[in-house]
Amino acid sequence: MLEVSGLSCGYGDIVAVRDLSFTVSAGSILALLGANGAGKSSTLMCLAGIVARKAGRVVVEGADISNLPAEQRIRHGMAIVPEGRRIFPDLSVLENLTVGGHIVSSAKLADGVEQVYGYFPRLKERKTQLAGSLSGGEQQMLAMGRALMSSPRLLLVDELSLGLMPKVVDECYEVLYRMKATGMAIILVEQNTERALAAADNVCVLEAGNLFWSGSAAQARANENLVAAFLGQ
Protein backbone atom coordinates (compact mmCIF):
# COMPACT_ATOMS: atom_id res chain seq x y z
CA MET A 1 0.00 0.00 0.00
CA LEU A 2 2.77 2.42 1.05
CA GLU A 3 6.41 2.17 0.03
CA VAL A 4 8.91 4.61 1.50
CA SER A 5 12.48 4.44 0.24
CA GLY A 6 15.49 6.53 1.23
CA LEU A 7 13.33 9.25 2.77
CA SER A 8 15.12 12.23 4.26
CA CYS A 9 13.31 15.33 5.48
CA GLY A 10 13.77 18.32 7.71
CA TYR A 11 13.40 21.99 8.44
CA GLY A 12 15.58 24.41 6.49
CA ASP A 13 19.16 23.19 6.79
CA ILE A 14 18.27 20.81 9.61
CA VAL A 15 17.81 17.16 8.63
CA ALA A 16 15.36 15.48 11.01
CA VAL A 17 15.10 12.08 9.30
CA ARG A 18 17.76 10.36 7.18
CA ASP A 19 17.47 7.62 4.58
CA LEU A 20 14.36 5.99 6.02
CA SER A 21 12.80 3.01 4.21
CA PHE A 22 9.77 0.89 5.12
CA THR A 23 6.54 -0.50 3.72
CA VAL A 24 3.00 -0.67 5.10
CA SER A 25 0.48 -3.17 3.78
CA ALA A 26 -3.25 -2.61 3.52
CA GLY A 27 -5.04 -3.75 6.66
CA SER A 28 -2.01 -3.41 8.91
CA ILE A 29 -0.63 -1.07 11.57
CA LEU A 30 2.99 0.10 11.62
CA ALA A 31 4.19 1.72 14.85
CA LEU A 32 6.98 4.29 14.69
CA LEU A 33 8.70 4.27 18.07
CA GLY A 34 11.68 5.95 19.66
CA ALA A 35 12.65 8.68 22.11
CA ASN A 36 11.46 12.27 21.88
CA GLY A 37 13.24 13.97 19.01
CA ALA A 38 13.93 10.72 17.17
CA GLY A 39 12.08 11.92 14.07
CA LYS A 40 8.77 10.09 14.41
CA SER A 41 6.45 13.07 14.03
CA SER A 42 8.67 14.59 11.35
CA THR A 43 8.30 11.38 9.36
CA LEU A 44 4.51 11.55 9.51
CA MET A 45 4.50 15.25 8.62
CA CYS A 46 6.79 14.58 5.68
CA LEU A 47 4.59 11.75 4.41
CA ALA A 48 1.62 14.11 4.64
CA GLY A 49 3.47 16.77 2.63
CA ILE A 50 3.73 19.24 5.51
CA VAL A 51 7.47 18.94 6.24
CA ALA A 52 9.90 19.29 3.32
CA ARG A 53 11.25 16.11 1.74
CA LYS A 54 14.98 16.35 1.00
CA ALA A 55 15.47 12.95 -0.66
CA GLY A 56 13.77 9.64 -1.28
CA ARG A 57 10.43 8.42 -2.65
CA VAL A 58 6.92 7.99 -1.26
CA VAL A 59 4.71 5.64 -3.27
CA VAL A 60 1.04 5.05 -2.43
CA GLU A 61 -0.79 2.25 -4.25
CA GLY A 62 1.79 2.38 -7.02
CA ALA A 63 1.65 6.17 -7.50
CA ASP A 64 4.74 8.23 -6.72
CA ILE A 65 3.45 11.13 -4.61
CA SER A 66 6.88 12.36 -3.51
CA ASN A 67 6.49 15.77 -5.13
CA LEU A 68 2.80 16.30 -4.50
CA PRO A 69 1.52 18.99 -2.08
CA ALA A 70 -0.48 18.00 0.98
CA GLU A 71 -3.84 18.62 -0.67
CA GLN A 72 -3.07 16.21 -3.51
CA ARG A 73 -1.89 13.56 -1.08
CA ILE A 74 -5.32 13.65 0.53
CA ARG A 75 -6.78 12.93 -2.90
CA HIS A 76 -4.48 9.92 -3.13
CA GLY A 77 -6.08 8.47 -0.01
CA MET A 78 -3.87 9.81 2.79
CA ALA A 79 -5.05 11.57 5.95
CA ILE A 80 -3.36 12.63 9.18
CA VAL A 81 -4.47 12.92 12.79
CA PRO A 82 -1.85 15.42 13.95
CA GLU A 83 -0.25 15.71 17.36
CA GLY A 84 -2.13 18.28 19.39
CA ARG A 85 -5.36 17.60 17.42
CA ARG A 86 -5.32 20.98 15.59
CA ILE A 87 -9.07 21.21 15.35
CA PHE A 88 -10.76 24.50 14.51
CA PRO A 89 -11.88 25.71 17.97
CA ASP A 90 -14.28 28.38 16.72
CA LEU A 91 -16.14 25.98 14.42
CA SER A 92 -18.76 23.49 15.56
CA VAL A 93 -18.16 19.74 15.64
CA LEU A 94 -20.17 19.34 12.44
CA GLU A 95 -18.32 22.18 10.73
CA ASN A 96 -14.97 20.60 11.62
CA LEU A 97 -16.11 17.32 10.10
CA THR A 98 -17.34 19.12 7.00
CA VAL A 99 -13.91 20.69 6.54
CA GLY A 100 -12.39 17.22 6.70
CA GLY A 101 -14.69 16.01 3.94
CA HIS A 102 -14.16 18.87 1.54
CA ILE A 103 -12.86 16.61 -1.25
CA VAL A 104 -15.89 14.28 -1.32
CA SER A 105 -19.32 14.74 -2.89
CA SER A 106 -22.28 16.10 -0.93
CA ALA A 107 -23.84 12.64 -0.71
CA LYS A 108 -20.61 11.06 0.54
CA LEU A 109 -20.15 13.96 2.94
CA ALA A 110 -23.47 13.25 4.64
CA ASP A 111 -22.72 9.52 4.77
CA GLY A 112 -19.28 10.23 6.19
CA VAL A 113 -20.67 12.40 8.98
CA GLU A 114 -23.09 9.66 10.01
CA GLN A 115 -20.32 7.09 9.89
CA VAL A 116 -18.15 9.22 12.20
CA TYR A 117 -21.09 9.67 14.55
CA GLY A 118 -21.39 5.89 14.60
CA TYR A 119 -17.76 5.57 15.65
CA PHE A 120 -17.99 8.40 18.19
CA PRO A 121 -21.58 8.86 19.44
CA ARG A 122 -20.45 11.69 21.71
CA LEU A 123 -19.67 13.80 18.67
CA LYS A 124 -23.25 13.48 17.46
CA GLU A 125 -24.50 14.60 20.86
CA ARG A 126 -22.26 17.67 20.57
CA LYS A 127 -22.52 18.34 16.82
CA THR A 128 -23.55 22.00 17.26
CA GLN A 129 -21.07 22.65 20.07
CA LEU A 130 -17.93 24.70 19.40
CA ALA A 131 -14.95 22.36 19.12
CA GLY A 132 -12.88 24.50 21.46
CA SER A 133 -15.30 23.78 24.30
CA LEU A 134 -14.94 20.00 24.02
CA SER A 135 -12.91 17.95 26.48
CA GLY A 136 -9.45 16.77 25.41
CA GLY A 137 -10.76 13.30 24.71
CA GLU A 138 -13.64 14.62 22.63
CA GLN A 139 -11.24 16.80 20.67
CA GLN A 140 -9.12 13.77 19.88
CA MET A 141 -12.23 11.94 18.69
CA LEU A 142 -13.04 14.93 16.51
CA ALA A 143 -9.51 15.01 15.07
CA MET A 144 -9.83 11.34 14.19
CA GLY A 145 -13.31 11.81 12.78
CA ARG A 146 -12.20 14.76 10.67
CA ALA A 147 -9.38 12.68 9.17
CA LEU A 148 -11.78 9.85 8.35
CA MET A 149 -14.12 12.21 6.48
CA SER A 150 -11.93 12.07 3.35
CA SER A 151 -12.33 8.26 3.19
CA PRO A 152 -8.59 7.61 3.50
CA ARG A 153 -6.91 4.32 2.70
CA LEU A 154 -3.78 5.35 4.62
CA LEU A 155 -4.15 6.99 8.04
CA LEU A 156 -1.26 8.70 9.86
CA VAL A 157 -1.87 9.02 13.60
CA ASP A 158 0.45 11.11 15.77
CA GLU A 159 0.37 10.57 19.56
CA LEU A 160 -3.08 9.06 19.85
CA SER A 161 -3.15 8.58 23.63
CA LEU A 162 -1.18 11.61 24.83
CA GLY A 163 -2.94 13.27 27.75
CA LEU A 164 -6.12 11.18 27.47
CA MET A 165 -8.03 9.18 30.04
CA PRO A 166 -7.70 5.39 29.63
CA LYS A 167 -11.38 4.98 28.69
CA VAL A 168 -11.03 7.50 25.86
CA VAL A 169 -7.82 5.83 24.68
CA ASP A 170 -9.69 2.52 24.53
CA GLU A 171 -12.45 4.09 22.43
CA CYS A 172 -9.97 5.63 20.00
CA TYR A 173 -8.02 2.41 19.60
CA GLU A 174 -11.24 0.49 19.01
CA VAL A 175 -11.91 2.77 16.03
CA LEU A 176 -8.37 2.15 14.75
CA TYR A 177 -8.99 -1.59 14.90
CA ARG A 178 -12.24 -1.16 13.01
CA MET A 179 -10.43 0.87 10.35
CA LYS A 180 -7.73 -1.77 10.05
CA ALA A 181 -10.41 -4.43 9.56
CA THR A 182 -11.71 -2.51 6.54
CA GLY A 183 -8.28 -2.75 4.89
CA MET A 184 -6.97 0.65 5.89
CA ALA A 185 -3.21 0.98 6.36
CA ILE A 186 -2.23 2.86 9.52
CA ILE A 187 1.02 4.40 10.72
CA LEU A 188 0.97 5.09 14.44
CA VAL A 189 3.27 7.31 16.48
CA GLU A 190 2.57 6.60 20.13
CA GLN A 191 4.34 7.58 23.36
CA ASN A 192 2.69 4.65 25.14
CA THR A 193 4.94 1.96 23.71
CA GLU A 194 3.16 -0.88 25.48
CA ARG A 195 -0.10 0.13 23.84
CA ALA A 196 1.58 0.63 20.48
CA LEU A 197 3.22 -2.80 20.55
CA ALA A 198 -0.11 -4.40 21.41
CA ALA A 199 -1.81 -2.68 18.47
CA ALA A 200 0.87 -2.88 15.79
CA ASP A 201 1.69 -5.59 13.31
CA ASN A 202 5.12 -4.15 12.57
CA VAL A 203 7.48 -1.69 14.22
CA CYS A 204 10.19 0.75 13.17
CA VAL A 205 12.38 2.17 15.93
CA LEU A 206 14.03 5.51 15.17
CA GLU A 207 17.08 6.98 16.87
CA ALA A 208 18.27 10.51 16.14
CA GLY A 209 16.54 10.53 12.76
CA ASN A 210 17.86 7.15 11.65
CA LEU A 211 16.18 3.76 11.42
CA PHE A 212 17.67 1.76 14.28
CA TRP A 213 15.53 -1.40 14.10
CA SER A 214 12.56 -2.80 12.20
CA GLY A 215 10.57 -6.01 12.43
CA SER A 216 7.31 -7.44 13.65
CA ALA A 217 5.73 -6.29 16.89
CA ALA A 218 6.16 -9.81 18.27
CA GLN A 219 9.89 -9.67 17.51
CA ALA A 220 10.13 -6.25 19.17
CA ARG A 221 8.42 -7.48 22.34
CA ALA A 222 10.76 -10.50 22.48
CA ASN A 223 13.93 -8.43 22.01
CA GLU A 224 15.00 -7.71 25.59
CA ASN A 225 17.82 -5.36 24.60
CA LEU A 226 15.54 -3.35 22.35
CA VAL A 227 12.85 -3.11 25.02
CA ALA A 228 15.38 -2.04 27.65
CA ALA A 229 17.01 0.58 25.44
CA PHE A 230 14.08 2.07 23.56
CA LEU A 231 10.71 0.62 24.45
CA GLY A 232 10.53 0.71 28.23
CA GLN A 233 7.89 2.87 29.92
Q: What is the pLDDT of residues 69-79, one digit of tens each?
A: 999 999 999 99
Residues contacting residue 134 through CB under 8 Å, at least 6 positions apart? 93, 126, 142
Q: What percent of the chain has pLDDT over 70?
A: 99
In this structure, are strands 202-207 and 29-33 parallel, antiparallel, or unpaired? parallel
Q: Delimit the domains of the chain by residue range.
A: 1-77+153-233, 86-151
pLDDT score of 230: 75
Residue 177 scores a pLDDT above 70? yes
Task: Identify the pLDDT of residue 163.
Answer: 86
- Average pLDDT value over all residues in the chain: 94
| Predicted confidence (pLDDT) per residue in 58-69, tens digit | 999 999 999 999
More confident position, 91 or 233: 91
Split at pLDDT 50, 70, 90, the class of 175 is very high
233 pLDDT higher than 70: no
Dihedral (Cα; 216, 1, 65, 35), 10-degree rounding = -20
CA distances from 129 to 61, 70, 94, 124, 209 (A): 38, 28, 8, 10, 40
Q: How far is CA 214 from the centre of its chain?
A: 18
pLDDT per residue over 11-34, tens digit each?
A: 999 999 999 999 999 999 999 999
Q: Look at the pTM and tell me if it is higher than 0.75.
A: yes
Rounded average pLDDT over 149-163: 94
Q: What is the pLDDT of residue 224?
A: 87
Q: 1-77+153-233 — its CATH code?
A: 3.40.50.300
Does pLDDT of 232 surpass 80? no
Task: Give 85's pLDDT tier (boundaries 50, 70, 90).
Answer: confident
* Cβ contacts of 174 within 8 Å, gap of 6 or more: none
Determine contact, residues 164/170, Cβ cutoff 8 Å: no
